[in-house]
């Protein structure tokens, strides 16, 4: 298992070698079958917490955390190629996340590319509800793929990359 999750799991097991782990999907386990998995608990979405809206405000949205695996930098390229504004909502608290932001996102914040910060649930629901589509260029086996499952609930398209956990899917609104 690579990336932040892999570091987290290895650190937890070094701290407590007797610990057991719970995965969000069976796909998450494939990257590290040697870890002590005991259960699978899917990351569910409460549909009624994402109100539907007919129409949109004409921007693309990115929702995730600042990392190469989540692809905020690639979402910027997609938005620029499409000639559309992009609103980026992402966690950016850890040193590696700040470094990614400084190198791949911060220099491009202009001309319709906006970083709105890390959002609470209400903010995420509004971002997705009002967006034309979610751009999800993830490049890893996302444990849940929940970011790309939310937009159809609010009547939006989701454009994940054909890599990792999320298969290429076009959910038309």
3-state secondary structure of 161: coil
Gap between the Cα atoms of 17 and 124, Å rounded: 37
Q: Which CATH architecture has domain 49-160?
A: 3-Layer(aba) Sandwich (3.40)
Instruction: Give me the pLDDT at residue 63, please.
Output: 94
Q: Answer yes or no: pTM beyond 0.85.
A: no
pLDDT of residue 45: 75
List the alpha helices (DSSP H) in 72-120: 72-82, 95-100
Q: Is 133 helix (H, G, I), strand (E, B) or coil?
A: strand
Q: Are 67 and 3 in contact (CB under 8 A)?
A: yes
pLDDT of residue 141: 54
Distance from chain centroid for Cα 141? 11
- Predicted local distance difference test score (pLDDT) of residue 10: 85
DSSP 139: -
Q: What is the pLDDT of residue 64?
A: 93
C-alpha span between 149 and 98 (Å, rounded): 26
Confidence at residue 42, expressed as pLDDT on a 0 to 100 scale: 78
According to DSSP, the residues that pair with 86 across neighbouring strands are: 60, 113
**Domain ranges within the chain, ordered by starting residue:** 3-40, 49-160
Q: Which candidate, 83, 41, 40, places its Cα nearest to that of 59? A: 83
Neighbours of 19 (CB within 10 A): 13
The pLDDT averaged over each successive group of 10 residues in the chain (173 residues) is: 74 91 82 88 79 85 93 94 96 95 97 97 93 84 50 51 45 40
């Amino acid at each position: 298992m690579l990336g932040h999750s892999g570091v987290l799991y290895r650190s937890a097991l070094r701290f407590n070698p007797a610990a057991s782990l719970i995965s969000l999907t069976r796909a998450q386990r494939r990257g590290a079958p040697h870890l002590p998995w005991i259960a699978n608990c899917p990351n569910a979405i409460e549909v009624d917490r994402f109100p539907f809206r007919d129409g949109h405000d004409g921007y693309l949205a990115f929702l995730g955390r600042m990392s190469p695996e989540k692809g905020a930098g690639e979402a910027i390229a997609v938005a620029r190629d499409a000639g559309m504004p992009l609103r980026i909502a992402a966690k950016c608290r850890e040193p590696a996340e700040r470094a990614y932001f400084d190198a791949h996102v911060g220099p491009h914040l202009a001309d319709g590319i906006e970083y709105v910060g890390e959002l609470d649930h209400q903010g995420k629901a509004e971002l997705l509800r009002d967006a034309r589509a979610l751009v999800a260029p993830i490049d890893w086996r996302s444990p849940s793929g929940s970011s790309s499952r939310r937009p159809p609930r609010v009547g939006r398209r989701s454009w994940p990359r054909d890599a990792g956990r999320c298969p290429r899917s076009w959910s038309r609104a």
